[in-house]
Structure 1
Amino acid sequence: MARRNVLITGCSSGIGLAIAVKMAKDEQKRFKVFATMRNLAKKEPLEAAAGHRLGKTLEIKQLDVCDEQSIKTCVNSIPDRRIDVLVSNAGMGLIGPIECQSIEEMKTVMDTNFFGLVRLLKEILPDMKRRKSGHIVIISSVMGIQGILFNDVYAASKFAVEGFCESLAIQALKFKLQLSLIEPGPVVTEFERKVFEDGMKMDLSAADEETAEMFTNIYLKNYKQIFQSLGQSAEDVAEHTVKIILAENPPFRHQTNTLYTPMTTLKYADPNGDLPIDIFYKMVFQHDKIFSASLNFIKLLRWRSRKSFDLGKPSQ
């Protein structure tokens, strides 16, 4: 079986690092991983995790998804420019009241999370279409399906990704390409820690007193508990992602956290869209004690989210 070239973005930490290492350490050596990051000064954790696979089944390259020339230079450095699997993972988060966020901050989130993917595909997609072979895997989020309190701009960026991919998937079929959206819920990584710390330091003076109080004493107060109860590890998400890549008929969408799935199904239960908004409102503002107790109960059921899943016969 020919080894597949895999290009992964955002590999300095978290999900990207975990996916790169898992694929590089594949016992059957089915992949040659090109693990990329914007700042090569942050490559040490990846080098340490890759171990003896570094320079063999894994190479580290510079790639900034916000820089077209950086993308082109990286792709040109790969033999024959052949990328069999693209894993678009690089991204950034932003939480808080929109009154306290600058338009420039919002643009940066959209530029990274949405236009970063677009830039990658403008460079890589034509080669895949010409070969009529390739798998595009996007690390999206459940917030690409359903908005969450104080995640307005981040959710908007993921909604953009999901709509873009739904449209592109139709064209991809014509060229025999596969496209998969991986949709994690909360994931405990350095990414989330930084988002939380930035939220804690946010200047709330531009917000009204009630909104600032809501963000501080409801959202941030419950943030850690939500991640402790529902959060997956980066390695969990990496396992799901690799199974999707190896599946004979990979799905278009795949949620990695079964504990979160009941929340996203609310979106499809009511065509008017009122049901999920009403339920989230009541959970946050009317039944906060029940919500907190439910999170504690979920901790006791953590093993259920770690159960293996079957996507059928792996591709050869």
Structure 2
Amino acid sequence: MSARTVIVTGCSSGIGLALAVKLAKDQLKRFKVVATMRDLGKRRRLEDAAGDALNNTLEIKELDVCSEDSICTCLNSIPERKVDILVNNAGMGLIGPVECQSIDTIKMVFDTNFFGLTRLVKEILPDMKRRQNGHIVVMSSVMGIHGLLFNDVYSASKFAVEGFCESLAIQALKFNINISLIEPGPVFTEFETKLYEDAAKMDLSSTDQETAKMFQQLYLPYSEKVFHALGQTAEDVAEHTVKVITSEKPPFRYQTNNLYIPFTTLKFADPTGNMHVDTFYKMVFQHDRIFNASLNLIKLLRWRSRNNPGGKHF
């Protein structure tokens, strides 16, 4: 069987880099990876990580998901424009009070996270339809299932991604094309680190004092605790994504972090949505001590599992 061509976006760091390298170093050599990024000046880390796979089972190309011309140029450079698997990973984050965000910045988030995916699908889907084969893998988020405090815009962009893919998946199956949404929770990447560093310095003068205090003294410290208790590495998410890609019957939705499943389950347990909203409100504003204690317990259990080779890994 010939190697399948996989195009991965957003490969300069984080999940995209880890996934591109993991696929390129597949022992069975099942993949030819086209690892793309908006700025080729940031290719050095990927080149170092790829090692012998570079220019063998992995090649690096420029692709800006916000530019139709860039997408077409990249695809036209691939023999017969044949893409067996698209991994849409490029994304942009945004946190903070919505009244402190400019409309231009909000549009930029949607242009990257939602319209970037749409541009790629518009170009790649027709070719997959003609071949009656293909797999579109989309790096979504658990925040595409439920909203989270001070993640209004980012969550909205991922909700859009989820709705787009859920609708498209029905049509795609008629052409033997699978669509899979990968839904990580917190992930330790440079993407996340910079996001929170910028948030800690953001101008909050456009919001009221209570909201500013809530963001600085409640949300940001809580987020750090959640990341340390529940966070995954980019390599871990990449490993889960490879399992989806190599599955005989790929799932439509796949959550990479079992610890986060109870949170997302609330969304589907009550059609009114009250259970989900009330639970998160009480966790944050009424039962913060219990929430903190739970996170500390999870962190302890994960530490023990990592230091006990025979134990169960969380």
The answer to whether residue 277 in structure 2 is matched with residue 272 in structure 1 is: no
Q: Do the aligned partners of 2:184 and 2:256 also contact (CA within 8 Å) in 1? A: yes
Rounded Cα–Cα distance in structure 2 between residues aligned with 1:301 and 1:245: 30
Rounded Cα–Cα distance in structure 1 between residues aligned with 2:213 and 2:4: 51
In the alignment, which residue of structure 1 is the partner of 2:142?
A: 142
Q: Do the aligned partners of 2:302 and 2:313 also contact (CA within 8 Å) in 1? A: no
Rounded Cα–Cα distance in structure 1 between residues aligned with 2:187 and 2:270: 27
What's the offset of the Cα at 1:308?
A: 8.2
TM-score normalised by the chain length of structure 2: 0.96
SS of equivalent residue, structure 2 residue 147: coil
The answer to whether residue 45 in structure 2 is matched with residue 45 in structure 1 is: yes
What's the offset of the Cα at 1:224?
A: 1.3
Rounded Cα–Cα distance in structure 2 between residues aligned with 1:92 and 1:289: 32
Distance 1:27 1:307, change over 3 A: farther
In the alignment, which residue of structure 2 is the partner of 1:254?
A: 254
In the alignment, which residue of structure 1 is the partner of 2:163?
A: 163
- Structure-to-structure mapping, 1:22-37, within 5 angstroms: 22-37=22-37
Rounded Cα–Cα distance in structure 1 between residues aligned with 2:313 and 2:135: 23
Rounded Cα–Cα distance in structure 2 between residues aligned with 1:42 and 1:143: 28
What's the offset of the Cα at 1:191?
A: 0.6
In the alignment, which residue of structure 2 is the partner of 1:263?
A: 263
SS of equivalent residue, structure 2 residue 258: coil
In the alignment, which residue of structure 2 is the partner of 1:104?
A: 104
In the alignment, which residue of structure 1 is the partner of 2:183?
A: 183
Q: Match of 2:176, as an amino acid?
A: K
What's the offset of the Cα at 1:221?
A: 1.3
- Structure-to-structure mapping, 1:149-298, within 5 angstroms: 149-298=149-298
Q: Match of 1:207, as an amino acid?
A: T
Q: Do the aligned partners of 2:94 and 2:195 also contact (CA within 8 Å) in 1? A: yes
Q: Match of 1:63, as an amino acid?
A: L
In the alignment, which residue of structure 1 is the partner of 2:130?
A: 130
User: CA RMSD, aligned part only?
Assistant: 1.4
In the alignment, which residue of structure 2 is the partner of 1:312?
A: none
Q: Match of 1:79, as an amino acid?
A: P
Rounded Cα–Cα distance in structure 2 between residues aligned with 1:276 and 1:170: 28
TM-score normalised by the chain length of structure 1: 0.96
Rounded Cα–Cα distance in structure 2 between residues aligned with 1:183 and 1:105: 24
Rounded Cα–Cα distance in structure 1 between residues aligned with 2:44 and 2:228: 27
Q: Match of 1:6, as an amino acid?
A: V
State the Cα deviation string for residues 199-225 of structure 1 (Å, max 9, x = none): 111100010000000000000111211
Q: Match of 1:75, as an amino acid?
A: L
Rounded Cα–Cα distance in structure 2 between residues aligned with 1:94 and 1:299: 26
Q: Match of 1:268, as an amino acid?
A: F
Rounded Cα–Cα distance in structure 2 between residues aligned with 1:74 and 1:85: 15
What's the offset of the Cα at 1:301?
A: 2.6
Rounded Cα–Cα distance in structure 1 between residues aligned with 2:301 and 2:191: 25
What's the offset of the Cα at 1:293?
A: 1.1
In the alignment, which residue of structure 2 is the partner of 1:77?
A: 77
Q: Match of 2:12, as an amino acid?
A: S
Distance 1:307 1:86, change over 3 A: farther
What's the offset of the Cα at 1:198?
A: 1.3
State the Cα deviation string for residues 244-295 of structure 1 (Å, max 9, x = none): 0000001000000000000000001111000011010001001111111111
Structure 1 gap segments, 5+ residues each: 310-316
What's the offset of the Cα at 1:302?
A: 2.2
Rounded Cα–Cα distance in structure 2 between residues aligned with 1:308 and 1:87: 27
Rounded Cα–Cα distance in structure 2 between residues aligned with 1:76 and 1:189: 31
Rounded Cα–Cα distance in structure 2 between residues aligned with 1:208 and 1:89: 35
Rounded Cα–Cα distance in structure 2 between residues aligned with 1:176 and 1:17: 28
Rounded Cα–Cα distance in structure 2 between residues aligned with 1:293 and 1:38: 42
Q: Match of 2:63, as an amino acid?
A: L
Distance 1:136 1:119, change over 3 A: same
Q: Match of 1:30, as an amino acid?
A: R
Rounded Cα–Cα distance in structure 2 between residues aligned with 1:307 and 1:242: 21
Rounded Cα–Cα distance in structure 2 between residues aligned with 1:78 and 1:225: 44
What's the offset of the Cα at 1:194?
A: 1.0
Rounded Cα–Cα distance in structure 2 between residues aligned with 1:203 and 1:104: 16
Aligned identity (percent) is 70
Structure 2 gap segments, 5+ residues each: none
What's the offset of the Cα at 1:300?
A: 2.0
Q: Match of 1:10, as an amino acid?
A: G
Q: Match of 2:196, as an amino acid?
A: F
What's the offset of the Cα at 1:35?
A: 0.1
